[in-house]
C-alpha cells in the first residue's frame, strides 16, 4: 500500500468534507480551486485536478455524497455541481472518532478549528475513509 498516495487522497477527502460540512445540507458546486490555494496555471494543477475528480467519484460511489452534474471549466478543470452530503456522510461526520482528532467527531473538529493544517485534513480523510469502510463491511 502506497502511504503517500493514500495520504494525498485522504487530504482531498478531508478538504471536501470541510467544504461540505460548512454548508450543511445545502447543495454546492465544488472545484479543486475551492480546496487548495492553487489555480490552473500552477505546475501541480493537472495532477490535483485529476486526483480531485477521482476522489469525488469514489465518494459518490461509496454513497457518502451525491452530485447533480459534472462540470467542465474554461481551462478544462473538473468540477461538480450540486454536491451534497448524504445521510450516510452526515452520520459518519458525526461519529465518535475517539482520541484521533482535537474534538470528538469530524464535524466538531471542522466546526471549531477554522484553519487546519494539511496533516489534519489527511487525518480527517483517513478517519472518514475508515468509518466508511467499516460501515460498508457491516452491511455486506
Question: Which pLDDT tens digit goes with each residue over 42-79?
Answer: 677 778 888 999 999 999 999 999 999 999 877 667 89
For the chain, helix (H) and strand (E) counts, in that order, are 6, 4
Residue 40 pLDDT:
58
pLDDT band at residue 95 using 50, 70 and 90 as cut-offs: very high
CATH of domain 3-125: 1.10.10
Of residues 135 and 59, more confidence is placed in 59
How far is residue 98's CA from residue 77's CA, in Å, rounded to a whole number?
37
- Give the pLDDT confidence score for residue 39 in this predicted structure: 61
Q: What are the C-alpha distances in Å from 126 to residues 3, 27, 29, 114? A: 11, 24, 23, 19
- For residue 91, name the pLDDT band (cuts at 50, 70, 90): very high
72, β-bridge pairs? 78
pTM of structure: 0.89
**Region at 101 (left for phi over 0; alpha for psi -120 to 50; beta for the rest):** beta
Amino acid at each position: 500500500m502506497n502511504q503517500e498516495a493514500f495520504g494525498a487522497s485522504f487530504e482531498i477527502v478531508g478538504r471536501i468534507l470541510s467544504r461540505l460540512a460548512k454548508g450543511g445540507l445545502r447543495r454546492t458546486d465544488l472545484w479543486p480551486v475551492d480546496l487548495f490555494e492553487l489555480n490552473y496555471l500552477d505546475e501541480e494543477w493537472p495532477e490535483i485536478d485529476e486526483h480531485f475528480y477521482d476522489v469525488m467519484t469514489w465518494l459518490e460511489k461509496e454513497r457518502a455524497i451525491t452530485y447533480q452534474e459534472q462540470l467542465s471549466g474554461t481551462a478544462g478543470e473538473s468540477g461538480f455541481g450540486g454536491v451534497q452530503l448524504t445521510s450516510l456522510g452526515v452520520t459518519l461526520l458525526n461519529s465518535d472518532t475517539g482520541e484521533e482528532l482535537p474534538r470528538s467527531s469530524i464535524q466538531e473538529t471542522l466546526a471549531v478549528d477554522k484553519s487546519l493544517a494539511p496533516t489534519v485534513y489527511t487525518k480527517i480523510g483517513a478517519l472518514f475513509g475508515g468509518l466508511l469502510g467499516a460501515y460498508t463491511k457491516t452491511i455486506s
